[in-house]
Amino acid sequence: MDKKRDTFSSRLGFILATIGFSVGVGTLWRFPYICGEYGGGLFLLTYIVLMFVVGIPLFSAEVSLGLASRKSPVGAYRVLEKPGAKWHIAGYFHMICIVLVIGYTIPVYGWILHYIYATAKGTFLGMDSGQVAQYFTDFSANHVLVFGFIMVNVALTALVVKNNLQQGIEKIAKVLLPSLAIIMGVLVIAGLRLPGAAEGVKFIFTLDFDSFSLAGVLTALGQTFFSLGIAMAVAMIFGSYQKEGEINVVKNSVIISVSVIFVAVMASLMIFPMASAFDLEMASGPGLTFITMPNVFNEMAGGRIWGTIFYIGFFIAAFSSGIAGWEAVMAFIMDQFQVSRLKALWVTFVLVMIIGVPALFSDYMFNLFDMLTNNVFLILGSLAISIFTGWIWGMDNMARTCGFSKDTWIYHFLSVMIKYISPIIIVILCLTLFGVIK
């Protein structure tokens, strides 16, 4: 083990930091609107099943690769692959994926910060739904203003990740995650008390089989990868940060996955009951958070306060995710080039801007980076983790790393899921995306 390598101070630190990464933009922003688009309850059920069938096994596999190697992705594959093999190339796919994610999503961070300010100021008071929608269109097109808010987020991120692991991400996660839980709980209770909120709850938990489709299943699978951050390098790097002798990999993965599911349900309970209470569209796509919700808060008593709290909670989740992504890139740079944390921070900043600035100024580039992340690097990276763990490094090595016996049901379950089920599902997803299967 590298004596200079940072480690989490405790198992709790690892769990909170990893949950912080997983409950960010992917869960609080992306999950509710795609859940709305694909019919609510049945999509949620499909997502939960896939989390247990594919998510937990692959997440456990990725963490175990980091724990066994004590390296970031490229180094992890180099340590664990056979001499002369080229599996370490997959590590670069993981790193490209996380750079794309933290880069192309930075406009969203700018939007959130602005909406905290705008809501607290009362900007949306008196606006009708058309004016709220136009406000978002005009603001998101004001690239200079959005960039200013992005730089505020970058500065806050740098203040955290410039510190070592325990004093940076782990310390802030222990503050932000409980704060987020309180804010979400308060908002859920406030929403459920509104007349008409029951329709929103029904939408979340009713199984509408008419809305069932292969596209919905594949979207739920993609959301499983995205929300857990599978193949985005963070799980592998955070696995390498765990203390020597950690054997709770699978148990930790279950805790983290269940927590992510819980946050997804809470995010839905925050949004859909409020939307239904005021007869607003729940299947409104990416604009759900920035267009539908301001209309909700305009109709609520004390909506200015509730709205401000909502966007603060949203930013806490996004910020927790962002700092974890930055830490992953910095860890890779420090491992590969043996540079200081401060130098790695500056290099990460440059990489984020190379992706983020084009994504901010061009919708085409934003959509291109989103497509490359979800349809190329995320899928190929997940397939690499599945095949490498199941067939190359081997399930026996994973079992020894994770501390469970070959005679247990966990071993047999993970073996089937990682070696067979996950690759088959991922290949089907690839064939569907490229139009081979319709």
For 58-97, the pLDDT digits (tens) are 999 999 999 999 999 999 999 999 999 999 999 999 999 9
State how far the Cα of 218 lies from the Cα of 213, in Å rounded to an integer: 9
Give the pair of three-digit tokens for residue 202: 């029904």
Residue 341: closest CA among 172, 164, 166, 167: 164
* SS3 label, residue 408: coil
Give the number of other CB atoms < 10 A from CB of residue 334.
Answer: 20
What's the CA gap between 409 and 427, in Å, rounded? 26
- Asked if 115 and 251 count as a contact pair (C-beta separation under 8 A), the reply is no
CA distance 392 to 37: 39
Question: What does 17-77 look like in DSSP terms, one character per residue?
Answer: HHHHHHTSIIIIIIHHHHHHHTTSHHHHHHHHHHIIIIIHHHHHHHHHHHHHH-S-HHHHH
The whole-number pLDDT of residue 286 equals 60
Average pLDDT over the chain reads 91
Q: How far apart are the first and last CA of the chain?
A: 48
Comparing 113-127, 277-291, 305-319, which segment has the lowest mean pLDDT?
A: 277-291
299-325 average pLDDT score: 93
**In the structure, what pLDDT confidence band is assigned to residue 51 with cuts at 50, 70 and 90?**
very high
Nearest to 74 by CA among 249, 226, 235, 233: 233
| pLDDT confidence band for 246 (50 / 70 / 90) | confident
User: What is the per-residue pLDDT across 266-276, written as a single tens digit (0 to 9) for each?
Assistant: 989 988 898 88
d(CA 399, CA 412): 10
Strand ranges in 195-237 using DSSP code E only, listed in sequence order: none
| Residue type, position 301, single letter | A
- Write a three-state SS string for 350-395: HHHHHHHHHHHHCHHHHHHHHHHHHHHHHHHHHHHHHHHHHHHHHH
State the pTM of this model. Answer: 0.92
Residue 47 and residue 262 in contact, taking contact as beta carbons nearer than 8 Å: no
What integer pLDDT is reported at residue 432 of this predicted model?
Answer: 81
Q: 139: closest CA among 261, 324, 287?
A: 287
| Cα gap 250→67, rounded to integer Å | 12
74-82's contacts with Cβ under 8 Å and 24+ in sequence apart are 74/332, 74/335, 74/336, 75/335, 75/336, 76/236, 76/240, 77/388, 80/388, 80/393, 80/397, 81/388, 81/392, 81/393, 82/392
Q: What is the rounded CA–CA span in Å between residue 216 and residue 4?
A: 45
Mean pLDDT of 219-228: 88
pLDDT at 2: 46
Whether residue 392 has pLDDT greater than 80: yes
